[in-house]
Amino acid sequence: MGEIPEEYKTLFKRFIERHLEIEKELVTTCRASAEKADHQLIKALAEKLSENEKEHHRYFTELIERL
């Protein structure tokens, strides 16, 4: 496997950045849902979803930096 062409790096970076923008709203919604939830199961689910998305954001951010 050779070097990734610059045009592919650029496209991939744009895709990841757009993905992060879209999912930022999901994280905000999950946090708000967790804070407002009356049921412990719903609260836990919303918190885990938020944590999972934050982890994805860190992974994708690192990936962008490596390209």
The pLDDT of residue 15 is above 90: yes
The pLDDT of residue 7 is above 90: yes
Predicted confidence band of residue 30 (pLDDT cuts 50, 70, 90): confident
> Is the pTM value of this prediction over 0.85?
no
The pLDDT of residue 39 is above 80: yes
Predicted confidence band of residue 18 (pLDDT cuts 50, 70, 90): very high
Q: Give the N- to C-terminal CA distance of the chain in Å, as an integer.
A: 15
Distance, in Å, from the CA atom of 9 to the CA atom of 52, rounded to the nearest integer, reads: 25
Distance, in Å, from the CA atom of 4 to the CA atom of 43, rounded to the nearest integer, reads: 42
What ranges do the domains of the chain cover? 6-66
Rounded alpha-carbon distances, angstroms, from residue 59 to 1, 24, 32: 22, 14, 23
Report the pLDDT averaged over residues 43-64. Answer: 90
